[in-house]
Structure formats: C-alpha cells, structure tokens
Amino acid sequence: DVKVTQSSRYLVKRTGEKVFLECVQDMDHENMFWYRQDPGLGLRLIYFSYDVKMKEKGDIPEGYSVSREKKERFSLILESASTNQTSMYLCASSPLQGLAVGGETQYFGPGTRLLVL
Amino acid sequence: GENVEQHPSTLSVQEGDSAVIKCTYSDSASNYFPWYKQELGKRPQLIIDIRSNVGEKKDQRIAVTLNKTAKHFSLHITETQPEDSAVYFCAAKDTGGGNKLTFGTGTQLKVEL
C-alpha cells in the first residue's frame, strides 16, 4: 500500500515567516508533486519533481520554492509567507511513467492546512 | 498547456438516482484521464481511470466514458448512496514529462436520503 505522509496536518504562521512543508513517500516513486487546494479552484500544481534534485514549475510557482535532496522526500518552502498563501497543501507521488500498470496514478498525502496570519 | 473544465460545481441527487459529472479537456494528445474522490477532511483517492484507447470503463456502480473527438469525458454513478457524497475531481494527463495531471475544479456531490 502506497503511503504518502506530510509533516503537519495544521500549521499557523505569521506573515513574513519562512515555512517548510515536508512530504515523504515510501514507494520509491520518481515523481512527486505539490498542489494547493482552494474552494472553487480545484487542485493547482505549484511544483513537481521527476528525480532527485530535479524540479519543474507548475501553474502557480510564484512565492514558493522546492527541494528534493532524497528520492523519498519533497519539501515545499514559502520563503516569506503571506496571507494569500493560506490554503490546503497536498503532496502527491507517482511512479515513473510507463513502467507500471497505472503508472500515471498519483497518490496523495493527507494534506497540510496552513493559516498565515 | 492542458486546460480541464468540469461541470457542474455542485450536484444534489436523491438516494438511488444516477449522477453524471462532465469534463472537457483541451489537448487532443492527452491519453490518460483519472477521477478522484475526496471525502470531507480526507485525501483525494483514485476511483476510476480511462486511457485514450478505450471508450468506456466500468467498475461496479461507477463508469467513465471518453469521447476523444469531442474531447470530453464523464463520470457516471448509478444507484447513488449517502457514502457517495464527496467532492469529485476529473483530471487529464499533460503530454509533457513527469506524469503531470491537470485537474478540474471539482464537483460537490450530495446524495440526499
């Protein structure tokens, strides 16, 4: 069973703070993703990574950065948190395209609800 | 890049009735279309998916249909039950690398007793 975990379920931070959200997967997946989920907007991709030390911008990367030093761990960094970054953040992982049946399937973590005051 | 539109945003049905959620996509080269269900306070979970070489796929009470010509796909839930109440997301796989998915904006389904 694929397990994707996120370091916190709830987080409260002050404007201007540096925030780290951690995601770990235990299935040796190559691909990892960070989304934010807002009512009426669905899941929007912030960044993704298809290999260690590799990263690609998603649809809304502004104000965020990421780090992938190890295959199992993908971190989302808010360099200077702002109130408009208050949201639910979801991490996901998937195996390398084409190497497994259902290889495109993404498996999600439980989410981190971030409140920036 | 890919653009996915999903309708309706909310759907209320009586228990036992059918529910249909529709999505359109923009990239004719997209070849993988998953549907996710997210119950309140929980993570999105895959419930069914379809690839572009298939027109329809069924798994018990849920089915997905794909019309490549029109670039739309639909989720059908028959004999709805209260536990079907959730937010449903459609998605389409981008043709670039990395297994990137573009999601629709979600449909809140409420099954009323």
B97 pLDDT band (50/70/90 cuts)?
low
Q: What value does the mean pLDDT take over residues B53-76?
A: 95
Contact A59 B32 (CB under 8 A): no
Is B89 a residue whose pLDDT tops 70? Answer: yes
Q: Which of A57-66, A103-112, B65-74, B89-98 has the lowest mean pLDDT?
A: B89-98
- Computed over its alpha carbons, how large is the radius of gyration of chain B? 14
Contact A105 B49 (CB under 8 A): yes
> Are the CB atoms for B107 and B88 separated by under 8 Å?
yes
* Beta strand pairing call for B10-14 and B62-67: unpaired
**For B82-96, b where at least 16 C-beta lie within 10 A, e where not — what string?**
eebbbbbbbbbbbee
**For A57-83, b where at least 16 C-beta lie within 10 A, e where not — what string?**
ebeeeeebebbbeeebebbbebeebee
Q: What is the least distance, in Å, from the CA of B88 to any CA of chain A? A: 10
Q: Which residue, among B38, B21, B22, B23, has the nearest Cα to B84 in the 3D structure?
A: B38
Is B73 a residue whose pLDDT tops 60? Answer: yes
Q: pLDDT > 90: what percent of chain B?
A: 81
Candidates B31, B32, B100, B102: best to mutate against A (most CBs of A within 10 A) is B100
* Encoded tokens for A71: 């295959």
Is A61 a residue whose pLDDT tops 70? Answer: yes
